[in-house]
Copies of this chain bind each other. A is one copy, B any other.
Amino acid sequence: MKPIALIAQFARMVAFYAMLALGGQAFAQADPLPSWNDGAAKQSIVNFVQVTTTQGSPQFVPPDERIATFDQDGTLWVEHPMYSQVMYCLDRVPAVVKAKPELAQVEPFKTVLSGDRAAIAKLTMPDLMKILAATLTGMPVEQFQAEVKAWLAAATDPRWKRPYTELTYQPMQEVLKYLRDNGYKTYIVTGGGQDFVRVYAEQVYGIPPEQVVGTMGGTKYGYDKDGKPFLTKEPKLLLNDNNGGKPQGIHLMIGRRPHAAFGNSPGDQQMLEYTKAGDGARLAMLVLHDDATREYAYGPAQGLPATKVGAFPQTLYDQAQKQGWTVISMKNDWKRIFAFE
């Protein structure tokens, strides 16, 4: 290569590296959490990432140990007026009854088929368990996945008239990405069915199946008529991934204590405690549903009398204060709720 050609090539390389450097700088300066208002909640996330990922920081966490866990319903996406998975189970009842017509006259299937919303809302927990068992088990794993996929493509939330998978909170999507960009492995740790959430978690949250921890059912190994092996979903509960079950599920599936955990309900209390009880920097955050206009208000929102708290006891928020968890106010901390807004 002639000297002049060398210099020309060098100039191109300089331009290229300068672009890279500037790009990197621009990226570093861009706000990784643009849907968050400035405030204590946003600051606690940014601080946590900085102290745990800066080499030489006394609270530095080696990349292998960067584990962050997220409850799903009410933390990553809308859970009201009913969990999407329960909607799925109710919607599947007609198909189940078609396959077993004798169920049409048997409760709770009869009530579900009636379409009487008031009666359906009054179904007891044992009734719901029967519906869950009938719609979530008894079929090959692949068939279940195909049924959930088809339902997700067609079903819409009654309020926003959009697919459930669009009702994820944009600020939390940004937290997931921000943590991953900083070497954290992000896990869903949900009371929902592990196999259900896995169907869409990769597409919706960028979280692969092996990083979804949920309520776990057993499977049975067998062979079809051609001798091909397959797994059937069984009505056998291995782990109820709620309350103390969340740390148990984390131990079972991950085997390490998270450095960051996000939840919104009493079912997440133990996960947040367990996370916060580890050494070094640990981030525990609780999403408070206090935005009746843009989403729903059903937590102990400020100003609501204690009696209105319902299933979200004030004690959970007292514990947050006491143990250094950060409460996220949807109303005040989130600039926008959904990506489509």
Contact = CB atoms under 8 A, between A and B. Distances in A.
Contacts of A3: 7
A244 interface: yes
Contacts of A194: 252, 255
* A-side interface mostly: helix
A304 interface: no
B221 A244 contact: yes
Interface string A193-209: 01100100010000011
Interface string A16-33: 000000000000000000
Contacts of A247: 219, 221, 229, 231
A161 interface: no
A153 interface: no
A238 interface: yes
A231 B251 contact: yes
A239 interface: yes
A212 B252 CA distance: 10
Interface in A177-211: 185, 194-195, 198, 202, 208-210
A27 to B, nearest CB: 23
A212 B274 contact: no
B6 A273 contact: no
A277 B228 contact: yes
Given A7-B6, A221-B248, A210 B256 contact: yes
Interface of A: 3, 6-7, 9-10, 13, 64, 141, 185, 194-195, 198, 202, 208-210, 212, 216, 218-221, 228-229, 231, 238-239, 243-245, 247-248, 251-256, 270, 273-274, 277
Given A10-B13, A229-B247, 12 more contacts: A10-B10, A194-B252, A195-B255, A210-B255, A216-B252, A218-B239, A219-B247, A221-B244, A229-B270, A229-B273, A229-B274, A238-B252
